[in-house]
């Protein structure tokens, strides 16, 4: 077999464990043998649409098995998969299709109108394919099920090496125009290997794919490692707390990846305490620091929580906190994964001392080769093989990583560095604080001061001053937010990350009274 990339995974699993469950979706299960055939048919269908080695195939949808099928099919053809955020607007999608040079788009039923809007505006896209009958628009899109039914199931063996590009995953764009991280077949394979060594993943795994598959955590957090190990991906279309708990119970889900806001939302569901979660062993949490109250809520249900740290450019795994240290080292992102190295450095590039805050750098076979068609950004991000994360972190005496914040999020107030993540963690420990984001806002005396934007719940402090008083036992005075605003909700990305740039835009001209 000349194909040494992801395209070979389904065929190898078909030989090793043909009858094991591979994918569950909407009440139906496909075995690894059946999944391998679907991938071969998908490759045949894409080839019939003119997809060849090096071509880009975009996928935009809520979670659906077609994400995995088109990803592996692209691997068999030597093509490049381009997952796009399902929440993006037509102009945002148009830019990414143009930038990536996509020739085929596979979209979900909710994106028929998007296909109609862009069909004539992106001439480079030759074919639009819909996974299911569109809910509106998209009548001219080709039907995915019929394309697969008509395609040949014969295996393809296009030469693909570990250094060849596998996918282009665009960053969220919170710091400007999205950049396309090019992840190779080797990046994807080594990341899966790192996760198999760092997490308790078994061949009998049934992992819940509830985070978006168009994001790196949703795809590579537990789903791809589980498939590589011969387990099953339990795919749900979108994250809804109550529905997710029901599937965890009924499908005997054993693990999943989530960001802390998802875990908090699930734990607040009325059925959280009564659902049978006995099969659930492990949760991988990343995307933001895991607040202690949320950690304890899930630990009380007998679930092992493993905090992890990563980013799109590292496929994403960089560090993981061993389950045994979840409470002892709470707040830590753990230690580097087996095949990944990590440093914390000062501005001059020298290694930081123990507990000294510096920039986190990572290196390893899971780290991208660069950004798509962007040598300038690539040169800024990669130095001598080390990826500059832009995150402010420190290593304790035992070598555990603590992420303090994004450097761009750090508040400098009267010459003191304030890390919003630390303040947010303290706020979340207060009764009635459901969600919070802390940002810096201009101040004539101190240069910058903190603004806490809070979603309150039952038992929340009565006013801003009461909240600040409650913080004084937890934080130094200069860290306590000068301003507090209560809001019904916070702006978020598709994965549940709070969009601080949106809050900065709202409050940059001052704090409305």
- Does 153 share its domain with 219? no
Query: Is the separation of the CB atoms in 451 and 481 below 8 Å?
Result: yes
CATH code of the domain in which 439 resides: 3.30.300.30
Q: For 22-31, what is the mean pLDDT?
A: 98
In a domain, 171, yes or no: no
CATH code of the domain in which 136 resides: 3.40.50.980
Instruction: Indicate the range of 88-102, 111-125, 233-247, 451-465 predicted with least confidence.
Output: 451-465
How far is the C-alpha of 412 from the C-alpha of 449, rounded, in Å?
Answer: 8
More confident residue, 345 or 458: 345
- Does 430 share its domain with 443? yes
pTM: 0.85
Predicted confidence (pLDDT) at residue 412 exceeds the cutoff of 80: no
Predicted confidence (pLDDT) at residue 421 exceeds the cutoff of 50: yes
Range from 153-157, 162-166, 330-334 that averages highest in pLDDT: 162-166
Range from 247-261, 414-428, 430-444, 486-500 that averages highest in pLDDT: 247-261
Helices (H), 268-310: 292-299
Q: What is the pLDDT of residue 105?
A: 98
Q: What is the pLDDT of residue 288?
A: 74
Q: For 422-446, what is the mean pLDDT?
A: 87
Percentages helix, strand, coil for the chain, rounded to the nearest 5? 30, 25, 40
Which residue is it, tokens 């080709």? 142
What is the number of other CB atoms lying within 10 angstroms of the CB of residue 373? 14
In a domain, 13, yes or no: no
Predicted confidence (pLDDT) at residue 173 exceeds the cutoff of 60: no
Rounded to the nearest angstrom, the gap between the alpha carbon of residue 310 and the centroid of all alpha carbons in its chain is 9
In a domain, 17, yes or no: no
- Does 131 share its domain with 254? no
- Does 117 share its domain with 191? no
Instruction: Indicate the range of 309-318, 364-373, 375-384, 417-426 predicted with least confidence.
Output: 417-426
How far is the C-alpha of 50 from the C-alpha of 188, rounded, in Å?
Answer: 25
Band of residue 178 on the pLDDT scale cut at 50, 70, 90: confident
CATH code of the domain in which 313 resides: 3.40.50.12780
Q: What is the pLDDT of residue 464?
A: 86
Q: What is the pLDDT of residue 460?
A: 75
| Residue 276 burial (C-beta neighbours within 10 Å; 0-12, 13-18, 19+) | exposed
Compute the mean pLDDT over every residue in the chain, rounded to the nearest whole number. 92
How far is the C-alpha of 401 from the C-alpha of 302, rounded, in Å?
Answer: 25
How far is the C-alpha of 237 from the C-alpha of 109, rounded, in Å?
Answer: 11
- Does 275 share its domain with 396? yes
Closest C-alpha among 281, 338, 324, 283 to residue 305: 283
- Does 114 share its domain with 213? no
Predicted confidence (pLDDT) at residue 277 exceeds the cutoff of 90: yes
Domain boundary among 406, 438, 463: 406
Predicted confidence (pLDDT) at residue 56 exceeds the cutoff of 70: yes
How far is the C-alpha of 368 from the C-alpha of 188, rounded, in Å?
Answer: 10
In a domain, 168, yes or no: no
Predicted confidence (pLDDT) at residue 372 exceeds the cutoff of 70: yes
Q: For 321-350, what is the mean pLDDT?
A: 91
How far is the C-alpha of 111 from the C-alpha of 90, rounded, in Å?
Answer: 10
Band of residue 327 on the pLDDT scale cut at 50, 70, 90: confident
Q: For 300-324, what is the mean pLDDT?
A: 92
How far is the C-alpha of 421 from the C-alpha of 439, rounded, in Å?
Answer: 10
In a domain, 2, yes or no: no
- Does 355 share its domain with 443? no
The number of distinct structural domains making up the chain is 3
- Does 93 share its domain with 131? yes
- Does 384 share its domain with 259? yes
Q: Coil, strand or helix: which one is 94?
A: helix
Q: What is the pLDDT of residue 174?
A: 44
Q: What is the pLDDT of residue 475?
A: 83
In a domain, 203, yes or no: yes
In a domain, 277, yes or no: yes
Domain boundary among 352, 384, 406: 406
- Does 326 share its domain with 363? yes
- Does 372 share its domain with 472? no
Band of residue 175 on the pLDDT scale cut at 50, 70, 90: very low
- Does 380 share its domain with 418? no
Long-range interactions of 241-247: CB distance < 8 A, separation 24+: 241/265, 241/266, 241/268, 241/269, 242/269, 242/271, 244/208, 244/210, 245/269, 245/271, 245/272, 245/275, 245/277, 246/271, 246/275, 247/208
Domain boundary among 381, 406, 431: 406
Predicted confidence (pLDDT) at residue 247 exceeds the cutoff of 60: yes
Q: Coil, strand or helix: which one is 360?
A: strand
More confident residue, 386 or 466: 386
Give the domain extent around 495: 410-507
In a domain, 24, yes or no: no
């Amino acid at each position: 077999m000349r194909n040494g990339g992801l395209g070979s995974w389904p065929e190898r699993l078909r030989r090793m464990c043909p009858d094991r469950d591979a994918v569950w979706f909407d009440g139906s299960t496909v075995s690894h043998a059946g999944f391998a055939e679907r991938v071969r048919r998908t490759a045949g269908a894409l080839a019939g649409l003119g997809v060849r080695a090096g071509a880009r195939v975009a996928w935009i949808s809520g979670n659906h098995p077609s994400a995995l099928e088109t990803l592996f099919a692209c691997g068999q053809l030597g093509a490049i998969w381009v997952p796009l955020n399902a929440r993006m607007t037509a102009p945002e999608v148009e830019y990414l299709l143009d930038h990536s040079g996509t020739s085929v788009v596979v979209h979900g039923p909710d994106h028929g109108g998007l296909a109609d809007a862009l069909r004539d505006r992106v001439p480079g896209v030759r074919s639009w394919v819909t996974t299911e009958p569109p809910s509106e628009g998209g009548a001219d899109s080709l039907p995915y099920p019929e394309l697969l039914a008509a395609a040949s199931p014969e295996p393809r063996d296009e030469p693909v090496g570990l250094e060849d590009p596998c996918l282009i995953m665009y960053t969220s764009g919170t710091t400007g125009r999205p950049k396309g991280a090019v992840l190779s077949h080797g990046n994807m394979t080594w990341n899966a290997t790192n996760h198999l060594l760092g997490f308790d993943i078994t061949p009998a795994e049934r992992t819940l794919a509830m985070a978006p598959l168009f994001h790196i955590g949703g795809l590579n957090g537990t789903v791809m490692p589980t498939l590589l190990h011969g387990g099953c991906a339990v795919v749900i279309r979108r994250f809804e707390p109550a529905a997710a708990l029901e599937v965890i119970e009924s499908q005997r889900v054993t693990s999943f990846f989530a960001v802390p806001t998802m875990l908090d939302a699930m734990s607040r569901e009325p059925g959280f305490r009564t659902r049978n979660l006995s099969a659930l062993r492990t949760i991988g949490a990343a995307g933001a620091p895991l607040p202690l109250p949320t950690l304890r809520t899930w630990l009380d249900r007998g679930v092992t929580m493993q905090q992890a740290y990563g980013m799109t450019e590292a496929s994403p795994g960089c560090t993981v906190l061993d389950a045994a240290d979840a409470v002892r080292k709470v707040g830590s992102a753990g230690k580097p994964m087996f095949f990944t190295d990590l440093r914390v450095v000062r501005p001059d590039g020298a290694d930081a001392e123990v507990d000294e805050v510096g920039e986190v750098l990572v290196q390893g076979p899971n780290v991208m080769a660069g950004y798509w068609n962007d040598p300038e950004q690539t040169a800024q991000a990669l130095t001598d093989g080390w990826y500059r994360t832009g995150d402010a972190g420190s290593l304790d005496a035992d070598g555990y990583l603590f992420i303090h914040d994004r450097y761009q999020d750090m508040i400098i107030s009267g010459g003191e560095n304030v890390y919003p993540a630390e303040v947010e963690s303290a706020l979340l420990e207060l009764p009635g604080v459901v969600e919070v984001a802390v940002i810096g806002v201009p101040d004539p005396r101190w240069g910058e001061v903190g603004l806490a934007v809070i979603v309150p719940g039952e038992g929340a402090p009565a006013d801003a001053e009461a909240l600040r008083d409650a913080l004084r036992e937890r934080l130094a005075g200069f860290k306590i937010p000068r301003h507090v605003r209560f809001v019904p909700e916070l702006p978020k990305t598709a994965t549940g990350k709070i969009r601080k740039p949106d809050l900065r835009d709202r409050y940059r001209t001052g704090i409305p009274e």
